[in-house]
Amino acid sequence: MIDPSADRAVFRQLADLLRDQIMSGELGPGEPLPSELRLAQEYGISRTTVRQAIAQLRTEGLVTVERPRGTFVRIPEEVKLITLARGERAGARMPTDAERRAHRLGEGVPVLVVTAPDGSTTVHPADRVQLTRP
């Protein structure tokens, strides 16, 4: 399972394990992960290390934490389509903390930034918006 003497850090090994379970569907959308204490006991590691692993999955946008209910596999959002107007450009980046709160963004969710010809920009949550061409 987890090898403390391995090259890869313990918290990364645990993140790999959980990520595999999510990607394979063994842990489906909306399903809870075991609690931090449970994981710590199960793998014989500290809760601190478990939290490092879960933090990794949060930054990857794979799980959401509802405190103090638990940690759950992220459920995909409904996607709205936005047309990219002529002369506009679009990029993506991670939101700042303020933007995250303003748009009620989950962790590990980027934003799409659309720049108009006049330089003004609009920001869209990347988990709910996709860009199209008319």
Partner DNA sequence: GTCCATTTGTCCGTATGTATC
Partner DNA sequence: GGATACATACGGACAAATGGA
Name residues contacting a second copy, limited to 23-52 (CB under 8 A).
Answer: none
Q: How far is the CB of 119 from DNA (least distance, A)?
A: 35
Angle at 115 between CA 107 and CA 104, to 5 degrees: 25
CA 62 – CA 125 distance, rounded (Å) = 16
Binding mask 59-98 for DNA (x = CB under 7 A): ------x-xxxxx---------------------------
Binding mask 7-36 for DNA (x = CB under 7 A): --xxxx--------------------x-xx
CB 30 within 8 Å of CB 69: no
HSE of 91 in the Cβ direction (CA atoms, 13 Å)?
6
Q: Is 106 helix (H, G, I), strand (E, B) or coil?
A: coil
Q: What is the contact surface with a second copy in residues (CB under 8 A)? A: 12, 15-16, 19, 55-56, 59-61, 79, 81, 84-97, 107-112, 126-127, 129-133
